Structure 1
Amino acid sequence: MDFKDKVVLITGASSGLGAAIAVYMSQLSAKLVLVGRNKKNLEAVAQQCEKSKGIKALSVIADVSKEADVERIVNETINHFGKLHVLVNNAGVVELGGIKDTAALSKYDKIMSTNVRGVLQLTMLAVPHLIKTKGNIVNISSIVSTRAAPGMLAYCMSKAALDHFTKCIALDLAADGVRVNAVNPGLVKTNILNVAGFSDVEVDSLSKKVIETTPLGKLAEADDIAAMVAFLASDCAKSITGCTHPVDSGKSLV
């Protein structure tokens, strides 16, 4: 796979899966637009990406839950590169809590504003540019889009919405030659659980339980997700659209 002269926009690129996807795509010669809220982390990822093939990434400090920021992401991308080939909607937030949580509604609003509304707005603004290049979109969803997870009500709902969003816009954009797919990770070795409020001890305990009940007996690595994103965004997947792709060491089978 080669992304030479291809412009790839990745949200949530300052850490976790987004950072892994960015580094992986940089090794395939992509021209990157890296979006994130943490300036220090984003700059570090951009520097790491530049080391791969000497291609300087465009870093955009932005929050996809804010409309003005989303507009700025697209404007800066087009002003800098003049085109867009791949949009990776990776940015997402996690809040713990179920229906008995008294803050369930506020957590729902926070999660949906980033995981769904922000994705919708950014995609809507990117579509005219993707149509011009016959580009494609890869959404980062989760296996909890179809599997209930205790204490993660709003997050599960947001990923279910993202899966259906993927299918709906794949149908909308097929005639324009724009493909749309989703990657659905299981639990991956990143800091996402710590950010959600889990302690290191709790993360280790949960990881052990997941591994014990996963067919391949291991967690997926961030690079596994990045490899699937790259495949779906490449010409190798030119006949694949509207699909969700679990990368979970078989967890969704049990």
Structure 2
Amino acid sequence: MEYNFSDKVVLVTGASSGIGEATALLFAKFGAQLALVGRNEKNLNAVADQCMKELGVRVLPIIADLGTDEGCEKVAKMTLEHYGRLDVLVNNAGIGSKYDLIETNSMEMLDRVFSVNVRGVYNLTRLVVPALVKSNGNIVNISSVVGKMVNVGMLTYSMSKVPPTGFSFFCASCPSSGARVHRTTTITSFYQRLTEITEEEYKKHLEDCERCIPLGKVCTSEDIAKTIVHVASEHSCRVTGTDIVVDGGLQFSSFGNMLKDALN
């Protein structure tokens, strides 16, 4: 199956590592002009440089905090002023919370997580929707399987991954596709940074995960990126408001107690 984004402008948030990085590189491989957003300037510039040097595409790196109105406005303004259009928005940026329960969590933590994972997605999308409507473009919202499963110790993060479902469904009535890719446990540094575990502990965590996944393999960032690109392509031009789960069957397994042990 062939993909061609040579005449498209793609905006990827959370592009400095993990799923966002893999997604940026894959879009670049298929010729997309990119606006890449992240908070880690060094990492973001490295991803942008790789896209430009190895793949020869135009890249606009944008350092911004999408948990703020200023950050969202900066991203929308810089992208549209630089390229004059937008065809694909990938809402991938997200932050997590360390082990938390309702009786121990703080409102400050909840506000911070929701400011990026929920409010930031809504805010950036509303700012660029006019450009997406004009280009007959589409939106891919990245969520997590924890929004569908009970995960002891991940209350705030799990809660923040429920709203994207409804947001995608309700946005489907606009000309943008509104398709949502539902992500799950992947081989990225996100979980390791969140739990502050060692490399050896993280390796053990992935091995434990694989025993819980019916298909027997943990999804990689590249696995998710392939689905994102497919959903954003002309091959999915009639897909809208849908929930695409890429998890190797994890949502059907008993994962909560194992995850609690890993976090402890």
TM tier relative to shorter chain: over 0.9
Q: 1:249 maps to which residue?
A: 248
Q: Give the 5 Å matches for 1:5-84.
A: 5-84=7-86
Q: 1:107 maps to which residue?
A: 109
What's the TM-score once normalised by structure 2's chain length? Answer: 0.91
Higher alpha-carbon deviation: 238-247 or 203-212: 203-212
Shift in Å at residue 203 of structure 1? 2.3
**Is 1:90 the equivalent of 2:89?**
no
Shift in Å at residue 162 of structure 1? 1.1
What is the RMSD of the two structures over their aligned residues, measured on CA atoms?
Answer: 1.1
Q: 2:256 maps to which residue?
A: none
Distance in 2, matches of 1:243 and 1:143, equals 15
**3-state SS of 2:245 partner:** strand
Higher alpha-carbon deviation: 189-198 or 106-115: 189-198
Distance in 2, matches of 1:131 and 1:208, equals 44
Shift in Å at residue 198 of structure 1? 3.2
> Would the aligned equivalents of 1:7 and 1:32 in 2 still touch at CA under 8 Å?
yes
Shift in Å at residue 170 of structure 1? 1.2
Distance in 2, matches of 1:157 and 1:71, equals 25
* Moved >3 Å (runs of 4+): none
Q: 2:262 maps to which residue?
A: none
Distance in 2, matches of 1:233 and 1:48, equals 22
What's the TM-score once normalised by structure 1's chain length? Answer: 0.95
User: Residue 225 of structure 2 aligns to which amino acid in structure 1?
Assistant: A
Distance in 2, matches of 1:129 and 1:56, equals 19
Q: CA offsets, 1:42-88, max 9 Å, x none?
A: 11000111134311300111010111121111111111100000000
Q: 1:225 maps to which residue?
A: 224
Distance in 1, matches of 2:235 and 2:172, equals 17
Q: 2:180 maps to which residue?
A: 182
**3-state SS of 1:8 partner:** strand
**3-state SS of 1:83 partner:** coil
Q: 1:208 maps to which residue?
A: 207
Higher alpha-carbon deviation: 87-96 or 204-213: 204-213
Percent pairwise identity: 39
Distance in 2, matches of 1:111 and 1:46, equals 26
Tell me, which stretches of 5 or more residues in structure 1 are unaligned? none
User: Residue 222 of structure 2 aligns to which amino acid in structure 1?
Assistant: D
**Is 1:240 the equivalent of 2:239?**
yes
